[in-house]
Chains A and B, each alone.
Chain A
């Protein structure tokens, strides 16, 4: 066999093996999706989504868990968005190119890699104990905020960087101050990127269990929290608690819960992505 033929053969083999690996990933993902949907769809109906759990969750619905997750994520958004966006503005518009900025960037990428359970410990020590917010929506949301911040900051910075310098110069030349330029020109132009990136981060936060384990979650609660200082049920924690501590947990209902969680996260993420591409088409430089 001459060299050219051998090279072609190796090429074919390599391509097939690598292709198989890529297909493996797709198959795993498809299997995960199909499995969740096929096991979970039977439980889904209006009653399941709105009523409270009965007999430790073996019967009844997951209304309070859905509501609790919505509470947690909304409060997290309330804290994360202003702070995260301003931090992104700082990095893109105000920060000098120096060691401090470099350390901030390093801190942000590092925050994204801190294990979620460590955030849980931090939340317990800082918000539950020291600030004395007790185990509550507030403590949980603050913990999730710390976790989601790096995502929002990075998304904002990237979106701001895509706004051409000309726009800033034009605004400044018209006599605007720096902040006015940011607020009236740069931020509106980069909104699609910021909003979508933030929503993706918040959707991820909705699925987190470890950070709320000892800061916000409660196993059973008949109703929604009346104030931010109440404990809540949450979808991911409900799955974990049922599987690990309720004997004879109902398969149908728990898979239904998993489906609601995954579907919620996916729908919000896809919608955000679609909205961004529509908005992007409107903005042309």
Chain B
């Protein structure tokens, strides 16, 4: 009896520790990024880095301006959303409101497959197919552009946008649809007047999560955007994203040096961005969940 109670206490402690681990890890990530980035924040200054327009980390007079990298990420992500949002939401609406059961089942496994393909493989496909295509179609000197990376990234974030939008549409109570149809609306009228507005916050969350996924994606953009760390002016130019910069340069820096530290600061900015995006998406989703629970 006593041993059983002892086990209970030990297990309880263990279970609670594991339960709280998520918070500990998340906090640890923030702390490690901050402490390792501290040197660059100290020596260069966070404001100077965030507003600096040149990234020359290895020259004698090293410059650590994040703007070219942030803009690079923004350009690539913009293109990606342009691809993933209409296709993802459109397909989700079709699957949820119009598609037959068989088609739905097939589509579900297909989307799961798309989500399971590693980003480095998407990058490889981009290298083989999209880089030559972009170069010849737009008659550029190089096919490694923000557009190239963005298109592939868009395809990669379709599963996120699609499945979360579909969940949101699915959560709309059937009675709303029936009410609308009973009033004489067609299926499409029901869809855009009733179902989509009712699911709008969930669809918004889907777009946010797709955005977060796209900003944080590393390997495909690293292989496809050409990685020129200059201020971009159009999507037909080579860009370097925040993620790509970290991945490309961290292997060659002096550990604990200024450049090393600056890369951690880039990571911190990236972390903060995705944190805010995910938090927003999560709060919206939570509100929607509460709304239909009644």
Give complex CA distance A210, B267 in Å. 13
Which of B107, B186, B282 is close to A106, meaning CB atoms less than 8 Å apart? B282
Give complex CA distance A35, B8 in Å. 54
Query: Is A192 close to B, CB under 8 A?
Result: no
Q: Shortest distance in angstroms between A280's beta carbon and chain B's nearest beta carbon?
A: 16
Contact of A125 with B32 in the complex, beta carbons under 8 Å: yes
Q: Shortest distance in angstroms between A271's beta carbon and chain B's nearest beta carbon?
A: 13
Q: Which residue of B lies closest to A30 (CB)?
A: B110
Contact flag A113-B188 (CB < 8 Å), given A95-B19, A244-B223, A265-B116: no
Q: Shortest distance in angstroms between A120's beta carbon and chain B's nearest beta carbon?
A: 8
Most chain A beta carbons < 10 A, residue from B93, B121, B223: B121
Most chain B beta carbons < 10 A, residue from A93, A146, A206: A146
What are the residues of chain B within 8 A of A203 when measuring CB–CB?
A: 116
Contact flag A262-B278 (CB < 8 Å), given A104-B20, A114-B29: no
- Residues 248 to 288 of chain B near chain A (Cβ within 8 Å): 250-251, 255, 263-264, 267, 270-271, 274-275, 277-279, 281-282
What are the residues of chain B within 8 A of A210 when measuring CB–CB?
A: 119, 218-219, 243, 247
What are the residues of chain B within 8 A of A196 when measuring CB–CB?
A: none
What are the residues of chain A within 8 A of B282 when measuring CB–CB?
A: 106, 109-110
Give complex CA distance A149, B62 in Å. 39
What are the residues of chain B within 8 A of A14 when measuring CB–CB?
A: 188, 191-192
Contact of A239 with B158 in the complex, beta carbons under 8 Å: no
Which of A87, A124, A125, A243 is close to B21, meaning CB atoms less than 8 Å apart? A87
Contact of B279 with A29 in the complex, beta carbons under 8 Å: no
- Residues 1 to 51 of chain A near chain B (Cβ within 8 Å): 7-8, 10-11, 14-15, 17-19, 21-22, 24-26, 28-30, 32-33, 35-36, 39
Contact of B12 with A36 in the complex, beta carbons under 8 Å: no
Query: SS class of chain B's interface: helix, strand, loop or mixed?
Result: helix
Give complex CA distance A213, B251 in Å. 8
Q: Shortest distance in angstroms between A246's beta carbon and chain B's nearest beta carbon?
A: 13
Give B186-212 as 1s and 0s: 1 = Cβ < 8 Å from A's Cβ atoms: 111101100000000000000001001
What are the residues of chain B within 8 A of A112 when measuring CB–CB?
A: 278
Q: Shortest distance in angstroms between B167's beta carbon and chain A's nearest beta carbon?
A: 13
Contact of A118 with B188 in the complex, beta carbons under 8 Å: no
Query: SS class of chain A's interface: helix, strand, loop or mixed?
Result: helix
What are the residues of chain B within 8 A of A30 when measuring CB–CB?
A: 110
Query: Is B162 close to A, CB under 8 A?
Result: yes
Query: Is A170 close to B, CB under 8 A?
Result: no
What are the residues of chain B within 8 A of A57 when measuring CB–CB?
A: none
Give complex CA distance A214, B260 in Å. 12
Give complex CA distance A176, B12 in Å. 15
Contact of B22 with A115 in the complex, beta carbons under 8 Å: no
Contact of A90 with B243 in the complex, beta carbons under 8 Å: no
Which of B33, B189, B219, B281 is close to A209, meaning CB atoms less than 8 Å apart? B219
Most chain A beta carbons < 10 A, residue from B107, B246, B271: B246
Q: Which residue of A lies closest to B4 (CB)?
A: A177
Contact flag A111-B127 (CB < 8 Å), given A94-B16, A208-B118: no
Give complex CA distance A29, B114 in Å. 6
Contact flag A83-B21 (CB < 8 Å), given A129-B255, A239-B120: yes
Contact of B32 with A126 in the complex, beta carbons under 8 Å: yes
- Residues 63 to 109 of chain A near chain B (Cβ within 8 Å): 83-84, 86-87, 89-91, 93-95, 103-104, 106-109
Q: Which residue of B lies closest to A89 (CB)?
A: B15
What are the residues of chain B within 8 A of A86 when measuring CB–CB?
A: 14-15, 18-19
Contact flag A18-B247 (CB < 8 Å), given A115-B215, A121-B264, A129-B255: no
What are the residues of chain A within 8 A of B33 when measuring CB–CB?
A: 118, 121-122, 125
Give complex CA distance A30, B175 in Å. 36
Contact of A266 with B113 in the complex, beta carbons under 8 Å: yes
What are the residues of chain A within 8 A of B99 when measuring CB–CB?
A: 19, 22
Give complex CA distance A116, B106 in Å. 29
Q: Shortest distance in angstroms between B202's beta carbon and chain A's nearest beta carbon?
A: 14
Query: Is A207 close to B, CB under 8 A?
Result: yes
Q: Which residue of A lies closest to B208 (CB)?
A: A113
Interface residue stretch chosen among B41-49, B52-60, B84-92:
B84-92
- Residues 205 to 256 of chain B near chain A (Cβ within 8 Å): 209, 212-213, 215-219, 222-223, 243, 246-247, 250-251, 255
Q: Which 10 A-B pairs have the closest CB atoms?
A: A115-B216, A207-B118, A90-B19, A21-B90, A113-B278, A18-B94, A86-B18, A22-B91, A210-B218, A87-B18
Q: Knowing that A19-B99, A113-B213, A117-B246 are A-B contacts, what are 13 other residue pairs whose CB atoms are under 8 Å apart, sorted by A's residue number?
A: A15-B188, A29-B111, A35-B129, A115-B216, A115-B270, A116-B216, A118-B33, A120-B246, A121-B33, A177-B7, A240-B219, A262-B116, A265-B118
Tell me the A residues contacting B by CB distance below 8 Å: 7-8, 10-11, 14-15, 17-19, 21-22, 24-26, 28-30, 32-33, 35-36, 39, 83-84, 86-87, 89-91, 93-95, 103-104, 106-122, 124-126, 129-130, 146, 149-150, 153, 177-180, 200, 203-204, 206-210, 213-214, 236-237, 239-240, 243-244, 251, 254-255, 258, 261-262, 265-266, 269
A-B contact list, 11 entries, CB within 8 Å: A25-B88, A26-B106, A28-B155, A35-B128, A95-B19, A107-B22, A107-B23, A121-B264, A207-B117, A207-B120, A239-B120
